[in-house]
A and B are shown apart, each in its own frame.
Chain A
Amino acid sequence: MGLIKSQIVLRHLCVTFIGILSFSAASVCHAEKPLHIAVASNFKSTLDVLAQHFTASTQIPIIISQGSSGQLFAQIENGAPYDLFFSADQARPKSLELLGLVFKNNDTSYRKTYGIGKLILWMKPNQKKRISEQIHIEINHLSASQYLKNLPPSEHPLRLSIANPNTAPYGIAAKSFLQNINLWPTLQKDIIRAQNVGQVFQHVQSGNSPLGILALSQLHYAKVNQQHYIAIPPQLHPAIIQQVVVLKSAPQRDQAMQFYQWLDQQSIRALIQQAGYSVPLK
């Protein structure tokens, strides 16, 4: 009896399961096909907000894949089926263009700057050790370079997380900032290389690094206390010009072009600005 009963239960389960599967398959078929966007980690949270606005007004759903610009570039070069790519630099979109992978319409290439990144130094107060309270109180009067130069020797070995300068655009900017203030050689052994600014955030947030150099937008969305970070002056590092491209192989090219043009709206530019980027002049 028990066996028969369990067989019946099993059959019911199977029927329910198949029902759910076909229902979800049907709902996917009826909806608009989603736009697939690849985005560099620093812009992920901002793009989430933009995507919500876009989907609300157009009913086009958006799938977002995040990674480092280098990783995403390598994926695209090898045929990843993205529609748009938001890079953290302009070098990789330009290379894609040279490789003929960017969509072109009558000589206009679908590549443009969507934001200029702002670099900041984030200090997370640590109750037990490292950064002394006194310096935190004085933060408002110190520039990022003064702050780093005035760390007392007792704070060493210090940990300063930056994105990998060999692969990540924010890492290149962080490295040249440290070179410009002549701290690169002395801080060499204190520098922790994260894969991208997303990982820099992890390091500082989890308390593993008391200091990190990352994008202002990341702290904007994490609602970090403004007392705990200092802006790094843009003249101390090469500009972080971030570009977007519509890919030639885009499966949803029309919607991708629609999103690309939608970015120029004043309200959307304002959103990007609020998130912690400068926007290019029109």
Chain B
Amino acid sequence: MLSTQDIQALWLTVQLATLTTVLLLLLTMPLAWWLARQNSRLAVIVESIVTLPLILPPTVLGFYFLIAFSPEGILGSPWVTLTGEPLSFSFAGLVVGSMIYSMPFVVQPLQNAFRQLDLKYLETASTMGAGPQDQFFSIVIPLCRTGFISAATMGFAHTVGEFGIILMIGGNIPGQTQVASLVLFDHVEALNYSSAHLISAILMVSSLVMLIFINTLNRNAMARSQ
């Protein structure tokens, strides 16, 4: 059976993944738009930086975060001044770390969707008197719906699967930073295999369901566009 600690960890994982995904969607949308419309050398460099977390070992990010998040570090120090709380070993620290870790999974689907969007629709809407806000909500969102849904699902799923970074910057505090992948690691180390099986199965089935959802969505979108 799942212990309260296990349930707490699963719930914390859902919270972390949701918050990370929402913040990433909001903050990286302009970036994805810019990347989709630019062909400059700068865009290539920015795109490569955004994609970097995809191929870097999580330990590289974890190590840099550990240094940057410390109360004297470049991110940790302003954070302490602003909030009075340290950034490392906190939920906020995990959100910042996860946002960088999962960024390519959110930016890439958005970027692809924006690239396929025909600008003529926006020009026509503009000549008919639609403001930028109206154009965004009435044209961009509905037409790029598949992109938004894939970005959100991939960002969420990838954050749920995060382990190496959280192991280094989380501090394994139940209820604050102990997510499902960490609780699972502890169960394995403590030879608690029955609990480990249960959590693994939950993570595996939920990840599979998310992927089936995305793939169905993408196939339907492809069928529609043909």
Residues on A facing B (Cβ under 8 Å): 68, 70-71, 73-74, 126-130, 157, 159, 161, 164, 166-167, 189, 191-195, 199, 202-203, 206-209
Counting chain B CB atoms within 10 Å of each CB, which of A68, A71, A193, A208 scores highest? A208
- Assuming the contacts A128-B77, A159-B89, A208-B86, asked whether A166 and B186 have C-beta atoms less than 8 A apart, the reply is yes
In the bound assembly, the distance between CA atoms of A168 and B106 in angstroms comes to 37
Q: Nearest 7 pairs between A and B by C-beta? A: A192-B171, A70-B189, A193-B172, A207-B70, A167-B189, A208-B88, A208-B70
In the bound assembly, the distance between CA atoms of A88 and B170 in angstroms comes to 24
Q: Do B86 and A193 have beta carbons less than 8 Å apart?
A: no
Counting chain A CB atoms within 10 Å of each CB, which of B67, B73, B77, B172 scores highest? B172
Q: Do A194 and B191 have beta carbons less than 8 Å apart?
A: no
In the bound assembly, the distance between CA atoms of A199 and B80 in angstroms comes to 23
Q: Do B171 and A74 have beta carbons less than 8 Å apart?
A: no
Q: Do B173 and A192 have beta carbons less than 8 Å apart?
A: yes
In the bound assembly, the distance between CA atoms of A130 and B76 in angstroms comes to 14
Q: Do A126 and B72 have beta carbons less than 8 Å apart?
A: yes
Fill in one digit per residue for B64-106: 1 if any A CB lies within 8 Å of its CB, else 0.
0011011111001100100001101100000000000000000
Q: Do B89 and A166 have beta carbons less than 8 Å apart?
A: no
In the bound assembly, the distance between CA atoms of A166 and B183 in angstroms comes to 11
In the bound assembly, the distance between CA atoms of A208 and B188 in angstroms comes to 27
Q: List 7 A-B contacts (CB under 8 A).
A: A68-B189, A74-B191, A127-B72, A164-B189, A199-B168, A202-B168, A209-B89
Q: Do B77 and A193 have beta carbons less than 8 Å apart?
A: no
Q: Do A207 and B171 have beta carbons less than 8 Å apart?
A: no
Residues on B facing A (Cβ under 8 Å): 66-67, 69-73, 76-77, 80, 85-86, 88-89, 167-168, 171-173, 178, 186, 188-191
- Assuming the contacts A159-B86, A192-B172, A194-B172, asked whether A206 and B189 have C-beta atoms less than 8 A apart, the reply is no
**Chain B, interface SS category:** loop
Q: Do B190 and A166 have beta carbons less than 8 Å apart?
A: yes
In the bound assembly, the distance between CA atoms of A77 and B80 in angstroms comes to 45
**Chain A, interface SS category:** loop
What is the minimal beta-carbon distance from B172 to any residue of chain A, in angstroms? 4
Which chain A positions have C-beta within 8 A of B71? 126, 128-130, 207-208
Which chain A positions have C-beta within 8 A of B72? 126-128, 207
- Assuming the contacts A159-B86, A208-B69, asked whether A191 and B188 have C-beta atoms less than 8 A apart, the reply is no
Q: Do B173 and A164 have beta carbons less than 8 Å apart?
A: no
Which chain A positions have C-beta within 8 A of B66? 202, 206, 208
What is the minimal beta-carbon distance from B58 to any residue of chain A, in angstroms? 14
Q: Do B191 and A70 have beta carbons less than 8 Å apart?
A: yes
Which chain B positions have C-beta within 8 A of A189? 173
In the bound assembly, the distance between CA atoms of A70 and B167 in angstroms comes to 16
Which chain A positions have C-beta within 8 A of B168? 199, 202
Counting chain A CB atoms within 10 Å of each CB, which of B66, B85, B173, B189 scores highest? B189
In the bound assembly, the distance between CA atoms of A168 and B77 in angstroms comes to 31
What is the minimal beta-carbon distance from A141 to any residue of chain B, in angstroms? 27
What is the minimal beta-carbon distance from A197 to any residue of chain B, in angstroms? 14
Q: Do A193 and B173 have beta carbons less than 8 Å apart?
A: yes
Which chain B positions have C-beta within 8 A of A192? 89, 171-173
In the bound assembly, the distance between CA atoms of A243 and B77 in angstroms comes to 42
In the bound assembly, the distance between CA atoms of A195 and B166 in angstroms comes to 11
Which chain B positions have C-beta within 8 A of A203? 89, 171
Q: Do A129 and B80 have beta carbons less than 8 Å apart?
A: yes
Which chain B positions have C-beta within 8 A of A167? 186, 189-190
In the bound assembly, the distance between CA atoms of A126 and B86 in angstroms comes to 13
In the bound assembly, the distance between CA atoms of A186 and B178 in angstroms comes to 20
- Assuming the contacts A71-B189, A166-B190, asked whether A191 and B73 have C-beta atoms less than 8 A apart, the reply is no
Closest residue of A by beta carbon distance from B73: A207
